[in-house]
Each structure stands twice: as C-alpha cells, then as structure tokens.
Amino acid sequence: MSSPWQAPVPPHPDQPDPTAWSPNGHAPTDGHAPGGAPPGVDPEIHPDGDVGHRERFHPAYMLITMVRSVRGFIVPIAIALFSGSRGEIVWLLIAGAFAALTVISAVANWWMSSYEVTGRSLRLRTGWLSKQERSVAFERIQSIDLQEPPLARLLGVAQLRVETAAGGGANADIVIEAIAVAEASALRNQLLAERAQRTSRPAPANDARPGTAPASAGTVPGDAIPAPGATGAALAATGTSGVSGEVIATLSGRDLLIAGLTSSRIGPAAAILAAFSQFGDDIVGDRVGRVVESSAFSPVQAVLGVVIVGGLIAWALSILGTVITFSGFALRREDDQLVISTGLLDRRRTTIPLHRIQSITVREGLLRQPFGLASIHFVSAGYGGGQQSNDSGVLFPLIRRADVAALLGRAVPAFAADIETARHDGQRLPGRARARYVLPAIASDITGLTIAVAAGYLIPFTEWWWGLAVLLVSSTPWSWLTYRDTRWAWDADDRLIVQGRSIARSVTIIPRRRVQFREISQNWFQRRAGLATIGVRVAGTTFGNSVTIAHLEVTDATAIADHLAIPTASLRRRGRRRPVPAAEPVVAWSGD
C-alpha cells in the first residue's frame, strides 16, 4: 500500500487542502506552537523537527459529535418536548442556544483536532476548550483497531484506535474518530510497517521451540481451513479495503447460523426476556389471568407454554446477536500478526501481534460439546479491544474440535498444542477432591430447594415451583462434572494445558514462558486433606487468574509452581531491558 503521507493528497473531495492548515501555512494556534516558530518546527516539544503533515479528521466527525451530544441530552430534550411547555419562548431560546452550542463545538472540535504521522510517532491533537496532545512512538504500538459503528458506516468513515501496553483499560491511547475508510487502511498499514521496521523483536513465536516455529508462513493464501460444514465460503465483504495477508479461516453463513443456534447467549437472552415478562406482567397480568382462567388449559400448561414460547424467543434473540457480532468473521495472518474482522452493523477489524498473545482457550459450550464444536479465545497483553475490553477476544467463533489443532498451527504456532492427547493422558484430581467439589454444591442446592419448596407451599398460585426446583438442583451434577473434567498436562513444548469447566468445558493453553506469576492457596479444610489450589496468571489478566486448578494434591501444586519458576541462571543477561531505545514514550499533556 502506498503511503499518502509523504505527498499528502486531499483524502476526501470535500476536505480542505491539507497545506492550507498544515504547520507550514497558517497553523491553528494551538497554544504550544508559538507564532514565531520557524515553519514546521516546534522548538518546545519537537527539537529535532520531528513533524509530519497534520491531517484533520474527516468532516463527518462534526456530524458524529453532534449526534453524540444530542444523544447525551436525550432525556432533557424529551422532557422539554413532552412537558407541555412547548410553545414558551424560554424553551425555544434554550433549545436554540443548545443547538448553536452543539454545532459550534462540533465544528470547533473538528477544526482543532488533527493527527500527524511524524518521523517516529503518531501524534494526535484533540480538544477545543481544553486541548490535548498525545504521541505514541511507533514501536510502542500494540494493536490497531479499525471500527465502523453504524453511523460512521453510513457516512463512509471508520474509527481508528491505536493502543499501547499502557492502556490496559477500555480506552485506546489514540482514537482517530473519523477517517475515510480507504485512508484508515492506508494509515494502519503504514503504522504497522513503521513499527515492524523499528522493532527488532524476533517474529511471532519467539517462545516456541525451533521445530514449531512459524511453519505456516509459506502456505498458500486462501487455503482456509474449512470450518464445520463450510464450503470454503467466500469471504464476506468487509467494506474496508487494504486487507492483506493469508486467510486462515472464515465463518460460512451456515456456521454462523450453527454458532447462533448453539450460542450460550441464550442464557442472558432468557434473563432479559424474564425481566421483560415481569414488567409486562404488571401491565397485562390481569388480562392474561382471565385468558388463562377462561381457556381450556390448566395453569400448569399455561405456564409451561409461556416458558417454551419465551425460550424460543430467547433463542431467536441469541441467534440474532451471534449473527450481528460474527457476520463476515475472517481470521487472517499478516507476517507476525493476526487480523480479525467481524461484525454486521458495527464492523471492526483488530490487529494483534502474535507475540502479545498470552494464552489460548478452546471453549466447548453446553450446546456445542455434544456436537464436537468449540470456539477459540485468546488473551492478549495490552489489547483493550474497544468497548467490550476484557483483554480477551474471539479468535474463531465456531470450529469442529478436530480442526482446532490445524487452525492453531496456522494462526498461532506457539500455541499449537495437542489438546486431545493432553485431555486423555492429563493428570486428574485425587479422589478425595470429589467431595470438595460436590459437597458445597449439594449444600447450596438444598438451600435453594428448601426456599423453593417453602415458596411453593406458601404462595398458592405458583404450582410450578417444581420447575424451579429442577433448575435449582442442577449445580450438584455440574460440580461433579467439573471434578471429572479437570485435568492438566505439560506438553513436549513446555506448555501447560489445563482442562476445566465453569458451565462450558474449556481447555487453556499457556506456554511456560508466558506465565507472569503463580499462587498456591490452601484453606483450613484443604490443609487437613493435603490439597491445595493453584492459580497461574498471564499478562492481560489483571483481575483474576488465567487458570485455576482447585483441590489438587499439595505436591502436584508445588510441582507445577516449581516448574514455572524462572531461575536466574537460565536467563540471558541483557545490557538493557528492551531491545528498543526508549525513543518517545506515550506522552500526553493537556492544558488550556
């Protein structure tokens, strides 16, 4: 992709000529660029003349900010409209002032915001009343996200989010709010190229053994792994040009539907529906009651009917949710990074450097396990992933278990572990751990059941408490399954492979060198039984262990912890911490 930055071309017909407001011309007076400074050089902050061409955001940004501010005031606006005081002049004045302010601030914001690719960093200036400038050195860039929220898509623009390891939270370090789609792709490619040039970091799997190093680098593009039942479905148009790299896998329409049918979103969907029915009950409760009384159905049948219909609706919603999220899902590999594009309404493209991936989890949802289907998830350090942060993402939403190894081998060779062998030959929990899994579950089930029976006895009309009771005793068999399914193994490449279960069964793969620290804990009961719990944590999982194995032999827990030790003698000494000089860290300042 050629980069338009050396010889800037107006990126969009209706965007003004960049030279008209570049620092060489009459730059917007942004506080720190004194008027007398020589063209293009800001002696205060960029002593080495490290400047590029400033580009404003796409003009669509104005509309986007206006919509945002109106959305923020939606409640007061609605109150004003429906309060019956519509005609009053005061209200008109307030509304007018509000509208004027919205427009002015949107225009001013757009006018004052710009991004700039300098010799060694991406610099962003934002703000109107309070200005902010932020630079991210190329080598500090961890991930670049391209997102197209619905409104942006209507306007033909995208949102470019650049994150560094410092982020951690939901906020990207640099967000270019509106940029023409083609330009966004070009900028992304340029940034990635700059980073690659500056980072002497050895490519992807620097922690894999030589034998497992990127074996797939030379595979034929387009030779995608057929996901379950796929017919090598054509890649759904992502709308963003400049997509390159080897396509590792795409999700076919049929698989998308299967993913929806078997998705675990059905739980949350049912909960939302239940909340709604509570709500609706207050409004139409009486009428429904009368219908039930007058119909030929018994109350039990009626309730059962409602549950079944509600379940079907929840299911349909979960299918819809899956389709919206994973429509057009494609996993590509560009040299040492993965590019994941997905989404029907809010399209996004995420770039994750392979060396940032810390662990991989293969999850077999409740409805997927019987069909041998699974989804693959990753945890990556310093990847905020936009709004739904959590530092973990979907590597592939639906795949046959048998194909997992092949996909991992091509996408993330450092994690291409033999899961099936580990599953069969892995170490299991000792027999006396069983009671520790099952007894608390039995206790909670008995408590729940007692409450349900009491409620069913006390509240006359709910003859269907037994239905609830079935749900309430479910945690006992579950805990037993968790006990039975838990196992762990080290593979030949020193990866810790742990199978566990919460609701879904999951297998997590953690290369030994990815482990940050580990915890062994023992409560009073475990101490008496000689059992312990071990937790292993990788980067990007600040709020909990990546993997926890509860109630294993103390000696086994200690052995795992010992194996994860990093003896000083084994480390290569380096003169300094990072291979890259601390050129230009993330800098942010704000002022007015």
Residues making contact with other proteins (CB under 8 A): 165, 381, 515-524, 527, 530, 532, 537-543, 554-555, 557-558, 561-562, 564-568, 571-574, 576-579
Would you give the DSSP letter of residue 325? H
Asked whether the beta carbons of 114 and 55 are under 8 A apart, the reply is yes
Residue 73 or 525 with smaller CB distance to other proteins: 525
Residue 504 or 520 with smaller CB distance to other proteins: 520
Query: In the bound complex, what is the minimum distance in angstroms from residue 419's beta carbon to other proteins?
Result: 23
Angle of helix 465-472 versus helix 433-458 axis, rounded to 10: 170
Residue 138 or 329 with smaller CB distance to other proteins: 138
b/e 227-245 (16+ beta carbons within 10 angstroms → b): bbebeebebbebbbebbee
Q: Residue 67 to residues 60, 62, 64, 181, 450: CA-CA distances in angstroms?
A: 11, 9, 5, 20, 52
Residue 220 or 571 with smaller CB distance to other proteins: 571
Query: Residue 285 and residue 372: Cα distance in Å, rounded?
Result: 43
Query: In the bound complex, what is the minimum distance in angstroms from residue 268's beta carbon to other proteins?
Result: 28
Query: In the bound complex, what is the minimum distance in angstroms from residue 142's beta carbon to other proteins?
Result: 12
Residue 502 or 568 with smaller CB distance to other proteins: 568
Distance of CA 564 to the CA centre of its chain: 28
Query: Residue 4 and residue 15: Cα distance in Å, rounded?
Result: 15
For residue 501, the surrounding DSSP H or E stretch is strand 495-501
The backbone torsions φ and ψ at residue 307, rounded to the nearest 5 degrees and listed phi first, read -60, -45
Query: In the bound complex, what is the minimum distance in angstroms from residue 558's beta carbon to other proteins?
Result: 4
Query: In the bound complex, what is the minimum distance in angstroms from residue 571's beta carbon to other proteins?
Result: 5
Query: In the bound complex, what is the minimum distance in angstroms from residue 576's beta carbon to other proteins?
Result: 8
- The first and second tokens of residue 305, run together, are 């009917």
Position 541, amino acid: T
> Residue 400 burial by CB count (10 A; 0-12/13-18/19+): exposed, middle or buried?
buried
Query: In the bound complex, what is the minimum distance in angstroms from residue 140's beta carbon to other proteins?
Result: 13
Query: In the bound complex, what is the minimum distance in angstroms from residue 508's beta carbon to other proteins?
Result: 14
Query: Residue 567 and residue 404: Cα distance in Å, rounded?
Result: 33
Query: Residue 384 and residue 168: Cα distance in Å, rounded?
Result: 6
Residue 342 or 359 with smaller CB distance to other proteins: 359
Residue 41 or 559 with smaller CB distance to other proteins: 559
Residue 481 or 529 with smaller CB distance to other proteins: 529
Residue 88 or 519 with smaller CB distance to other proteins: 519
The residues, ordered by sequence, that sit 6+ positions from 223 with a Cβ below 8 Å of its Cβ are 246, 247
3-state secondary structure of 251: coil
Residue 143 or 322 with smaller CB distance to other proteins: 143
Query: In the bound complex, what is the minimum distance in angstroms from residue 82's beta carbon to other proteins?
Result: 39
Query: In the bound complex, what is the minimum distance in angstroms from residue 47's beta carbon to other proteins?
Result: 28
Q: Which residue has the tokens 């003009």?
A: 59
3-state secondary structure of 408: helix
